[in-house]
Amino acid sequence: MQIQYKPPRGLLATLFQAEIVQGMTLTLKRLFSKPITRQYPDEKPDIRTGFRGQHALVRDPETGDTKCIGCMRCAMSCPSRCIRIRSHKDKAPGSRRIIDCYRIEALRCVYCGYCEEVCPVNAVVLTEVFEYSSYDRPSLYFTKEQLLGNWDRFVAQLQVPVNEYVNPFWRPRGLPEGDLPAGKRMPVSPEWSGEQQVVGKKWRQQQSHLNTTAQEGS
Amino acid sequence: MTRPIRQRLEVPVAGGDGERYSLRMGPQHPATHGVLRVDLELDGETIVECTPQVGYLHRGFEKLAETKTYAQGLILTDRLDYIAAMANNVGYCVAVERLLDIPVPMRAKYIRTIVAEMSRLCSHLLWLATHALDIGAMTVFLYCFREREVLLDLFEELCGARLTFSYPRIGGVRQDVTGSFIDELQRFIDIFPSRIAEYETLIDTNRIWLKRTVGIGKITGEEALDLGLTGACLRGSGVDYDIRKHQPYDAYDQVEFAVPLGSEGDVYARYRCRIEEMHQSIRIIQQCIDQLPPGPIVDPDAPDLVMPIKAQTTIQAGRSEYGTGLIRLLRDENIYITGDVYVATEVPKGELGFYFISDGNNRPYRMHIRSPSFIHIGALSQIARGELIADLIANIGSLDVVLGESDR
């Protein structure tokens, strides 16, 4: 496809500077429309669900501690290797691993969300908090207690009850339930779980056309 | 390569007294789009020699990728061309899939095509904004950012990030699209052609814009091919080369679109090509939305994010096929097929190629990135020689370089 190069300009348009008048009219019209600028520190932006922000460890309502089982999947999949976990196991049979130390270096993190996606028990999460800059580095090397505190702060400003909160990376939208470990099969809307997918209207038309021809054929 | 421009220099230039002096432009110069340094030899205001210096943003991604698994390597591509990160992600995934022979479900292909074209719109909008700002048109800058904001909000809705998406994954995508996302995108592409018309009203026939762009930075098709230019820089010179059309990947063979071609090969032709490409992107997105099929979004055989073995075998523990990949891993056998592959995709800047060598391990033995920006900067000395120093700004802008990609 050949592009249209420089459009021709008549003598009158040249004389009266028509294109400049047109441009000025456009900007003048814009003067009377609603401004789209948001004054950030005073006006907070709308953060969409599933925004990958500050890290947190989910506090288990039953035990009051983290849900982490020390499987190391998050530390293994982390591309920037910013997660460090130390855990030990009690001698008593059937006991789960106890987390001694769970540290995330927020300054090294790239916010890819792999950790929350691979976590089998939804223990780690990237919350929708994005304002947590600091004047010193040590306060951004999150310890387990800080991460649990991050979760508490996030829950306090959450609109929905905690037990109904599902992060899109805990249960990726559209993944079949059979592919997910038991902890990630959280109740979600049929669109989220992939039972009701949004499809194109042309695809629907083709499908109905195929169905009618198949019926006529039979 | 000899250029007639060299002979033009023999004639004494107005304002120049024949005495040359050198000037270092950048790396902090705002019009160099990041950290490009250009060493200039000047005669008056005419450029005699122009040597671009790159490397200020070098982060060693090619070496770094050798220490990361294929899934982890994806996040490096976010930081190549950071204003069109989604196109890089898609290019990386297409390359790895072809290397490891992983099929992609049709729905994922369509979603990827949609997001790659949205990324192209993002990139072209930012290019138009900054290019116009460099030349002196401030209003276009603000208008373009208005539309780019909508696209970034859409990306945030889809994958939770506005700049470093990491959205596709090897063998599909990470999240399915929702009805609200599709509706919002449909509203955007309905309104967007009228917004392009606004930009055209502002600068298309503006005489200042024409004075700064027409006949500046001329490059013929043959020269562009010799210099290795791709993308709109090559198509502005009239060479019909678009990987989406000629070696289709993802769902590009399922949609109809035209490849805009210029003939003059100057800054204005490249500008017109990119504006037309935005119209074509809209067409592609509309067709993809209409044809979006249902189905899975990730291939069941795709590697898991955490383990290099097949996703299903790791998750369905206890089933009969469990452990096939794991046992191969423990036995120190090859997990993947060995070999090498070069896969090129059409990103907004041009041809982005990934060259992988696999030695059967779960990480690439070598990854090479053929980044269009690096090659376009190399062409700058040929294009800018013999022109005025003010036109160098227009030339850098119209080549559309991003230093993150060039220095990688």
Closest chain A residue to B313 measured between Cα atoms? A179
Check whether residue A163 and residue A193 sit in a common domain.
no
Q: How many domains does chain B have?
A: 1
3-class DSSP assignment, residue B218: coil
Check whether residue A62 and residue A154 sit in a common domain.
yes
Q: Specify burial of residue B326 (Cβ count, 10 A radius: 0-12, 13-18, 19+).
A: middle
Average pLDDT over residues A29-46: 87
Check whether residue A157 and residue A181 sit in a common domain.
no
- pLDDT exceeds cutoff 70 at B320: no
Measured in angstroms, the CA of A189 and the nearest CA of chain B are apart by 11
* Position with higher pLDDT, B335 vs A112: A112
Alpha helices by DSSP H, listed for B169-256, are 179-199, 207-213, 221-227, 232-235, 243-246
Query: Which tens digits make up the pLDDT trace of B354-401?
Result: 999 988 777 888 899 998 999 999 888 888 888 888 888 888 888 888
Q: Enter the tokens of residue B218.
A: 């001329």
- pLDDT at site B310: 47
Which is nearest to B264 in space by CA: B233, B229, B242?
Answer: B233
Residue B1 lies in a domain: no
Residue B371 lies in a domain: yes
Closest in B201, B293, B296 to A176, CB measured: B296
Query: Which chain B residues have a beta carbon less than 8 Å from that of A113?
Result: 160, 166
Residue A177 lies in a domain: yes
Average pLDDT over residues B35-55: 86
Q: What is the CATH number of the domain that holds B123?
A: 1.10.645.10
Residue A210 lies in a domain: no
Instruction: State in Å, rounded, how far the first CA of chain A is from the last one.
Output: 45
Q: For the packed helices B138-159 and B106-135, what is the interaxial angle rounded to 10 degrees?
A: 160
Q: How many domains does chain A have?
A: 2
Residue A187: give the domain boundaries: 171-202
Q: What is the CATH number of the domain that holds A86?
A: 3.30.70.3270
Residue corresponding to tokens 């090129």 = B344
Contact: B290, A176; criterion CB under 8 Å: no
Residue B198 lies in a domain: yes
Check whether residue A123 and residue A196 sit in a common domain.
no
> Distance between CA atoms of A141 and B123, rounded to whole angstroms?
34
What are the DSSP calls for A58-91, one per residue? PBPTTTSSB------HHHHH-TT--EEEEEE--S
Interface test with A, best of B110, B149, B305 (most A CBs within 10 A): B305
Measured in angstroms, the CA of A174 and the nearest CA of chain B are apart by 5
Check whether residue A130 and residue A187 sit in a common domain.
no
Residue A27 lies in a domain: no
Check whether residue A188 and residue A137 sit in a common domain.
no
Check whether residue A180 and residue A121 sit in a common domain.
no
Q: What are phi and psi of B388, to 5 degrees?
A: -75, 160
Which is nearest to A71 in space by CA: A54, A49, A89, A56?
Answer: A89
Average pLDDT, chain A: 85
- CB of B5 within 8 Å of any CB in chain A? no
Residues found in chain B: 408
Residue A190 preceded by cis peptide, ω within 30: no
Closest in B161, B276, B296 to A52, CB measured: B161
- CB of B305 within 8 Å of any CB in chain A? yes
Check whether residue A151 and residue A164 sit in a common domain.
yes
Check whether residue A75 and residue A153 sit in a common domain.
yes
ipTM metric: 0.86
Band of the pLDDT at B307, cuts 50, 70, 90?
Answer: low
Check: CB of residue B358 under 8 Å from CB of residue B66: no
Measured in angstroms, the CA of B68 and the nearest CA of chain A are apart by 7
> Distance between CA atoms of B273 and B106, rounded to whole angstroms?
30
- pLDDT at site B187: 92
Residue A196 lies in a domain: yes
Closest chain B residue to A74 measured between Cα atoms? B306
- pLDDT exceeds cutoff 50 at B315: no
Band of the pLDDT at B313, cuts 50, 70, 90?
Answer: very low
Query: Which tens digits make up the pLDDT trace of A125-145?
Result: 898 888 888 898 888 899 988
Q: What are phi and psi of A86, to 5 degrees?
A: -120, 130
Burial B226-244 (b: 16+ CB within 10 A, else e): ebbbbbbbbbbbbbebbbb
DSSP code at position B351: E
Check whether residue A85 and residue A133 sit in a common domain.
yes
> Distance between CA atoms of B169 and A117, rounded to whole angstroms?
12
- CB of B67 within 8 Å of any CB in chain A? no
Band of the pLDDT at A22, cuts 50, 70, 90?
Answer: confident
Range picked from A196-200, B55-59, B282-286, B337-341 for highest mean pLDDT: B282-286
Q: Enter the tokens of residue A64.
A: 């009051």
Measured in angstroms, the CA of B187 and the nearest CA of chain A are apart by 15
Contact: B160, A113; criterion CB under 8 Å: yes
Residue B143 lies in a domain: yes
Query: Number of residue pairs across A and B with CB atoms under 8 Å?
Result: 157
Interface test with B, best of A4, A12, A47, A112 (most B CBs within 10 A): A112
Task: Could you list the beta-strand ranges (E) of B63-171.
Answer: 168-169
Check whether residue A183 and residue A158 sit in a common domain.
no
Alpha helices by DSSP H, listed for chain A, are 11-16, 18-31, 73-77, 114-118, 144-156, 190-193, 201-217
- CB of B174 within 8 Å of any CB in chain A? yes
Measured in angstroms, the CA of B343 and the nearest CA of chain A are apart by 23
- pLDDT at site B223: 87
Residue B246 lies in a domain: yes
Check whether residue A118 and residue A184 sit in a common domain.
no
> Distance between CA atoms of A25 and A21, rounded to whole angstroms?
6
Residue B81: give the domain boundaries: 61-300+337-407
